[in-house]
Structure 1
Amino acid sequence: MNALSDGFLLVDSNWDFSQELVEHLQNVRSSQASNIIIAGDNTKQMLKMMFKEQIKDYCYCDFDNEISVSELASYLHRHHNIHAVLLYSLDYHLATEEQRFIFDSLHPHRFLIEQSPQGFQITKLHSQALINHLSCHPDTAGLPDPDLMLAKLTGLLCGKAKVAG
């Protein structure tokens, strides 16, 4: 299974970071359609990204509100096959216990992305995943191997067309 075929959920907790990440991905994958689904509370900016074809889809979500996150999970489960969640590393590490509960509930495979002057770096999040009403992909049996996804995402962020997996 191609880990990049369906979609990745990008939690838009920092608008500038999200914008730079999707622009980078668009530049690297100029001939391929985006497979990023973004969720956050900046609907106007997410809609602009959609029209620029920088993202596959967007959905409003207030990540401080469990009901909003549950509605997001329901929408994603019905309309998308999410392979992993991408989180801005700084926001995850600064999150409150309640916010981390929500982030850890979104999906079994979560990756932290950092931006440095050298580009973007991605690491697998090793905290315990919580499968519950906030999860957008509760069936872990059909998911690709997280280490293979990490290799492919790293290759994508570095601009390499293929990464051995």
Structure 2
Amino acid sequence: MSFKITNYLLIDIDSEFSRNFTEHYFSKEQRTSASELVVAGGNTRQLVKMMFDELIKDYCYCDLENEISVSELASYLHEHHDIKGVLFNSTDYSLASDKQRFIYNSLHKNRFLVTQVDNSFTFTPVTDKGHSNHLSCHTDIAQTHKNPIEFPD
């Protein structure tokens, strides 16, 4: 059974990897339906290009080293997308610092490492402990308030 990439978040650290991955699964020749992949990263130009090429459903700028930026990403995803899990380039994940891995492991309870092997990709569940906190896009912690908070006079 193949891995269904529906409503996943791809973390874009290596733009070439992200482009190869999205073209493999969502190029016009490959796809049977519209892309449901959301990508987050710092290379906005790359992300916009992938969206215009219809390789991704949506993109979010995110400074993945900044907890405030990641928390804003989590809130956006919680409100606008039903993310089923997060995909990481296995090389980027293995090279990340402990602090960065803490952030990665907080994004979602379902996390997968993606490895490119020749012209295909393999998916391996992340075995590191996950964290549920203000950086998680699958919990109510990420929910923003619809009504403004009122302060007493």
TM-score range for the pair, normalised by the shorter chain length = 0.7 to 0.9
Kept after mapping to 2: 8 A contact 1:88/1:113: yes
**Partner Cα separation in structure 1 for residue 5 and residue 119 of structure 2:** 27
Partner of 1:23: 23
Higher Cα Rg: structure 1 or 2? 2
TM-score with structure 1 setting the length: 0.78
Unaligned runs of 5+ in 2: 141-153
Q: Relative to 1, partners in 2 of residues 1:71 and 1:93: Cα closer, same or farther, differing over 3 Å?
A: same
Q: Relative to 1, partners in 2 of residues 1:95 and 1:107: Cα closer, same or farther, differing over 3 Å?
A: same
The root-mean-square deviation of aligned C-alpha atoms, in Å, is 1.7
Read off the aligned partner of 2:40 and give its amino acid letter: A
Partner of 1:12: 12
TM-score with structure 2 setting the length: 0.84
The structure in which a higher percent of residues are helix is: 1
Instruction: Compute the displacement of 1:132 (Å).
Output: 0.2
Q: Alignment partner of 2:109: what SS?
A: coil
The structure in which a higher percent of residues are strand is: 2
Instruction: Compute the displacement of 1:92 (Å).
Output: 0.5
Instruction: Compute the displacement of 1:6 (Å).
Output: 5.4
Percent sequence identity over aligned pairs: 51
Kept after mapping to 1: 8 A contact 2:5/2:37: no
The one-character-per-residue Cα deviations of 1:15-71 (angstroms, maximum 9, x if unpaired) are 000000000011474221001000000111101111111000000000011110000
Read off the aligned partner of 1:21 and give its amino acid letter: F
